[in-house]
Each structure stands twice: as C-alpha cells, then as structure tokens.
Structure 1
Amino acid sequence: MITRLHLYLVDAAAAVVIGVLVGYAMVEHQEKSWWLVVPGALLVALPVAVRRIWPVPALGVTTLATAAVVVGRVLPLQALGAPMGAVCFALYTVAVDRPRRWSLTGLVAAVVVISAITGAEPENIVVAIAALSAVWAIGYTTRLRRSFLDREMTQRAEQALAGERLRIARELHDVVAHNLSLIAVQAANAAHVRSPEHAYEALTVISETSRAALTEMRGLLGVLRSDADLAPSPGLDGLADLADRASLAGVRVSLDVRGDSPVPEGIGLSVYRIVQEALTNVVKHAAPASCTVLVDVTPSSVRVEVSDDGPGVQELGVGHGLVGMRERVAVYGGTFGAGPGTGGGFRVEAELPHR
C-alpha cells in the first residue's frame, strides 16, 4: 500500500531529476556560472518536492522561477521542457487539492506567464495552453472522482448506521413486547386472584421477567457505546427459557428442537426472535392455551413452526408483529407464512436457509 511517505519520496526524486535537467541545460551551451545555475535550478525544481504540502506556493514559485531563468537568459528557451514539467506537477496538485476557483486562477496565471516567455509565436502559445489545460483537466477530474468516492463512503456509513439503528429498534421491540406481555398477564392475574399464594407467584414472575427484560435491554443499548462489552446474541440455546417464561404466563408450551447442525449467529438470533414474537402473540391473544414450538435444524436451513389451540384471530394486523417476523425471514431469502390453523388456533411457519 502506498503511504504518504512514499509519495513524498517520489516527489523528491522528481525534483532531483528536474533540477539536474534544468542545471544541465543551463551549462550545456551557455556555460553559465554555478552561482546562477544552482539557485535557478533549485527555485525551479525544489517546489516539486513540497507540492503536496504547499500546492499553491509551489505553483507560484516554480512558475515565477521558470519565467526568471528564461527572461534572464540563464536557461535557453528551447530547454523549457524540464521547467514546464515542474509547473505541470504543481498545477496538477493545485487542481486536485484546491477548490475550482483556486485551481482555475492558477491555470490562468501559469498560462499567461508561460505564454509570455515563449514569445509571440502562436504555435508556442497553443502548445503551452494545451499542455497546462490538459494537466489541469486531469487533476480536476481526479478531484471529482475522489469527491464522489468520499460521498459514497459517507452514504454507506450512514446507511450502515441506519441499518444498525433499525436492527436495535427491532430487537428492542421484540424484547419489550414479549416481556411486557408476560408482565401484563401476570399483573392481571395478581389483581383477580383471591389466594395470596397465587398473587405471590404472579408477582415473582413479574419480578423475574422485568429483571430479564432490563438485562437484555442494557445489552442491546450497550452496543451504542464504544466501550461496552458485547454479550453473545441469544440463539437456539435460549428457546427453552422463552418456553418457560411463556408457561409462567399461562401458556402450556411444548418445545421440540430437532437436529444439531451448526447455525450461523444471525440465523440463530432470527429464529429466537421469531419464536419470541410468536409466543408473545399467544400470550396476548390466546392465553390460556396450549402451544407447540417446532424448530427443525438441517444442514441447509432452519424451519420454525409455532401453533396454538386458542381462539385464533379474524384479521391479521400489524400489532401481531408479523411484519417484523417476515422482514427477518426475508433478509435470508426464506419463506414465511402465518394464519389460522387447520384445526383452529393460529399458526406461524418460517424457513430460513443458511447454505
């Protein structure tokens, strides 16, 4: 990978080459004194070595130095190629690093100065304008391309942030909906029972459920902090706890997990949330009822089936969390279905491929 230091070394090498060429052109036919050759060559070539640090001053110094050595007859006009290379290097950097107004001003100034020292011959002026304009166009195109890339990276970062926020919002919805449903059911039971033992049992469930909900919410919100310790996401291993909590809310849950094939973490989390949302719906709309949860894990997919024997629903609304479950399945290109069961109750089916 090319580092900033490598680019500086390349510029230094280019400055040395240009300086040698300019100095050689000064002494080849004119036999100028070294006290004129060395400063003149340094003023023309040295700005190339620092053009990435001070692009505008580099362009100004090398352009004026080129004009000075030509007008002062220290450098013959036919040897203008090497100084023109220095001017082009600096102009390219200005076009890349500076706004269009600055770079166009630099282009016009360089064209005026170089055209003035080449004489009144039209072909020399045309060559100078064409060369400098081409260098500016390449530099400005590079600036636009970098701007587009930076904008694209910014948009991708914003999209990733929005996606992460959406994921956290979905997780929070599932956690809050599930646990608050259990708490609401147990609170209603505690308010209606006559036996202190049953009320105590309901309050115990409320306490344990709320504590579990707070723990999971802290874990989810913790991902927004850079110094947070990330706990593993819930997966298939947490299905038994979901079944136990739903049973405490008056839903008799029969859990059957088949297969032992490895499942990606994202698939495991999605299965966990689908089962959680399905059980939440059973607790809210069908309790007391019996519920069967089947999770069939195969080497290529995970199939989830949650069915209950409750009264069922006549209309499917967004409040049943079906949209969230369907989105989770769609992320992995799976299939999802929900509706009244053949023998009554309600049924949720999903299949998530992972290979």
Structure 2
Amino acid sequence: MTADESAGPTVGPADFWSARPLNRAMLVLASLFATVSFASDFANAITGSGTLDAPQTLVILLNCLAIYVLWTRTTFAFAALIPALVASHLLDAFWMTSLVVPLLLGAVAATAQKSFSLVALAVSVAWTLLIPFTTTTFGPVVWVALIFVALGWGVGNFVGFLLDRRLQDQARVAEATRRAARAAQEERKSLARDLHDIVAHNLTIISMQTRAAQYAGTDEAARHAVDVVGHSATEALADLRRMLSLLQAEGLVAGDQEAAQIELGEGAAALDLEYGAVKFGRMLEGLGIETHVETEGLDQDIPRSVQTALYRVLQEAVTNVAKHAAEGGQCRICIRVNDDRLELAVDNTLPVRGAPARAGWNSSGSGLIGMRDRVDAFGGTMSSQRDGSWWRVRG
C-alpha cells in the first residue's frame, strides 16, 4: 500500500476528513481490480456459468463504488464503503467485502488523520466480529477476516510512518536549502562591503590626487601626487589579492588553498590597526587635511577578525573624510582599548554651509550601512552624526 511521496493534506489545515492523496499507480490498480472483478462475476451470472445472484451482485457493486471513490480521498472512500458493510450482513455476501475492507483500512491508516483511522479500525473490527451472528455460511471465516484487517491496519500504519519520515526529511532539506541561501546572501553582502571598502577608498584617493596633479603649481607637487596615486593603486591591488586569497582558502573560488592560507598569513600585518591608522593619516595629510592620529593599548591580544573588521570601518571612515572634509580641514583618528573594549573615533571638520563637497563627491550611504553591519557582527555599536562644525564617527 503506497501513497504519493510528496503529498500532504489535500485541503487547508488538518481535520477529521483530510488525507494525503494516494499514488496514482495504486489508484489505477485498485480500479482495475474492482472493474475486472465485477465484470467477470457479472459475465458469469449472465452466462449461467457462476453462482452469482442479485444480492451478491449488489454487494460487489457497492464495494466497487467505494474503491472508485478512492480517486477523491481515502476517508471519503471508507465512508462510501459503509453501505457495502451493511449490505454484506443483510444479504449474507462477505467474500468481496472481506477483501475490500483491509484494502481501504490500510489506505486510510497510511494517509488519513489518526482520529479517522482509529474510527475506521473500530468499524472494520466491529463488521468482522458481527459475521458469525448474521450468517451460518461464513462464520468460520471471521478469524481469517480479522487477520486481514490486522494486516491492512499494520501495513497501512507502517507506510504512513515512512511517508511521515520522508515528509520530515523533505522539510529538513528545504529548511537547510533556505539557510544555505540566506548564508550565501549574507556572504554576497559581506563581499560587496569588502569590495566597496577596498575599491572606494583607494579610488577616492587616486581620483583626488589625479586632480591635484593636474593643477599642481610645481613639478615636485605633481610628482608627489603621482607617487600617492601609485601607492594607492598598489594598496588596492594588494587588498584585492588578499580577498581572492581568502576566497580561495575557504574554497569559494578555484585556486591553491594551501598557498592562499600562506599568503593570508603573510599579509595579515597589512591590516594591523595601528599601521592602518598611521597610513590613513598620511593619506589625509597628502590631501591637505591636517590629521592627528592617536592609538592606545593596541599591543594587547586583539582577535584578528576584530582587527580586520575595525580596519575596514576605519578605512571607510577615512574615505568619507577624504570625500567630504573641507580643503585645509582637520581630522582626528583615535583607536584605543578601554576596559577590554576596542574603541574607534574619527572626527573631521565639515565644509562651510553652502560650500560644495570636496571634489564634487556624493554619498549613497552604503558605506555607513556597511560600517554598522561590520560592527554589529561583533556585538558592537556605531554612530555617525554632525556635532556643530564637526562630523563624528564612533565605533
């Protein structure tokens, strides 16, 4: 006895009459059995080669109708079997019904709700136990009928158990697929943040220094601007290579994972917070922004993942300073460990109200969102707000 593997309840929430639909192949076989049985018995009755009489024909017809109703629901089919159960006792015709009862009981046990299957079991047992009281011909058959009923019930419950397990497995696979999709989405967001931080920062510096080189008053100033452009391009390439090594080390892209791990280890110092603060401070100085850098307590054992996250936050904050700080403005960068908390502060002066933003840069706000996401990932907080003529970032 089988049921459709992917089937669930046919309608809405589970109720007394709800049931999984049966497998189509079983429905076809059951219908053929009913049709062939009725047609052969009826043909024998017409030709006079059998002993089939009108009462037996009626009982067989009622059983066949119940089997055909299986195409709707097993619960409806068992309910449709009730007239055949009653007629078999009244007309003393049991052989066809004794085969159909275990069949439909097993189908109900495999597909219907437990409450309905228990009722169906009680009806089947009651019908079987009443046989000795309504017939003298089929009385000894009661024990065989009880065995068939028990087998139908047992096999149906076993199939139902397997179907439930399969549905649970399918639900777990679906949930795992949804979790993998969410993880992949988060990974894509993280990759997008990294690309934004790396590319946006260095391209901002390169763009500004290129403009400075165009309008430089002396050859020395132009050479300095070109040197900064070259250094920023080298930094961007190194960062992109580190990202590629990380993806290779985690097996997300093709490559030598062992070599990638070595390269990541060798390049870890490049994301050191103290080194980054000094480097970014010099970049801002090269853009004509007076910058003061202060670090405290960074010699402590700070997890590499935390340092990397805060390094990227610092990088994005400095990029925003380069975009929006006034020409000849000021910036203060402070990174320190305070009571086992790693704190970052980046403050910069703002242009005079009404003055255009430095180099005509606009902000999409995605950088601030990425900064907050990085800090939130480690249970921290981040704020960015205007304070008079200053813009203050805290993380």
Shorter-chain-normalised TM-score: which range?
A: 0.5 to 0.7
Give the TM-score normalised by structure 1. 0.62
Partner SS state of residue 335, structure 1:
coil
Aligned partner of 1:249 among 240, 265, 287: 287
Shift, 1:134, TM fit: 0.5
Where structure 1 has 5 or more consecutive residues not aligned to the other structure, the ranges are 1-90, 351-355
Aligned-residue offset at 1:282: 1.2
Partner of 1:263, secondary structure, is coil
Contact 2:101–2:149 (8 Å) recurs in 1: no
Pick closer, same or farther for the CA change 1:193–1:326 going to 2, 3 Å: same
RMSD: 3.4
The normalised TM-score by structure 2 is 0.56
Alignment match, 1:183:
206
Distance 1:319 1:99 in 2: 46
Q: In structure 2, what is the Cα distance between the partners aligned to 1:123 and 1:171?
A: 71
The match for 1:300 among 332, 340, 358 is 340
Cα distance in 2, alignment partners of residues 183 and 112 from structure 1: 86
Q: Which residue of 2 aligns with 1:265?
A: 304
Aligned equivalent of 2:349, options 298, 306, 309: 309
CA contact (8 A) 2:210 2:229 kept: yes
Equivalences for 1:112-131 in 2 at 5 Å? Answer: 121-131=144-154
For structure 2, the 5+ residue unaligned runs are 8-21, 31-97, 104-140
Kindly indicate whether the alpha-carbon contact (under 8 Å) linking 1:179 and 1:209 is maintained by their aligned counterparts in 2: yes
Q: Residue 300 of structure 2: SS of its match in structure 1?
A: coil
Q: 2:253 aligns with which of 225, 229, 237?
A: 225
- Pairwise CA distance, 1:250: 2.6
Are the counterparts in 1 of residues 196 and 367 from structure 2 also a CA contact under 8 Å? no
Partner of 1:236: 273
Distance 1:295 1:113, change over 3 A: same
Q: Is the 2:274–2:295 Cα contact (8 Å) retained in structure 1?
A: no
Distance change in 2, residues 1:167/1:208 (3 Å): same
- Quote the Cα distance in structure 1 between the aligned partners of 2:99 and 2:378: 62
Secondary structure of 1:346's counterpart equals: strand
- 5 Å-filtered alignment, 1:309-348, equals 309-311=349-351, 318-319=364-365, 321-342=367-388, 344-348=389-393
1:264 CA displacement? 2.5
Matched-pair contact (CA < 8 Å) for 1:235–1:269: yes
- What stretches of structure 1 move > 4 A for 4+ residues in a row? 98-104, 111-116, 312-317
Residues of 2 paired with 1:138 and 1:292: CA distance? 68
Query: 1:300-336 CA deviation, whole Å, 9 max, x = no partner?
Result: 3211111123427789964472222222222333222
How far 1:348 moved relative to its partner?
A: 0.9
Residue 282 (structure 1) aligns with: 321
Residue aligned with 2:382, SS: strand
* Distance in 2, Cα, partners of 1:112 & 1:301: 77
In structure 2, the residue corresponding to 1:186 is in which secondary structure?
A: helix
Residues 112 and 169 of structure 1: is their aligned pair in 2 closer, same or farther, counting only changes over 3 Å?
Answer: farther
- Structure 2 SS opposite 1:321: helix
Question: CA 1:313–1:149 in structure 2 vs 1: closer, same or farther (change >3 Å)?
Answer: farther
**Cα–Cα, structure 1 residues 181 and 113, in superposed 2: closer, same or farther, change >3 Å?**
same
**Deviation sequence 1:225-258 (CA, Å, 0-9, x none):** 1425142563424423222333333333222111
Supply the distance in 2 between the matched residues of 1:99 and 1:334 (Cα, whole angstroms).
Answer: 45
Q: C-alpha separation between the residues in 2 aligned to 1:304 and 1:112?
A: 80
Distance 1:214 1:95, change over 3 A: farther
How far apart are 1:102 and its partner, in Å?
A: 5.8
Q: Is the 8 A contact 1:95 1:139 kept in 2?
A: no
Shift of 1:220: 1.8
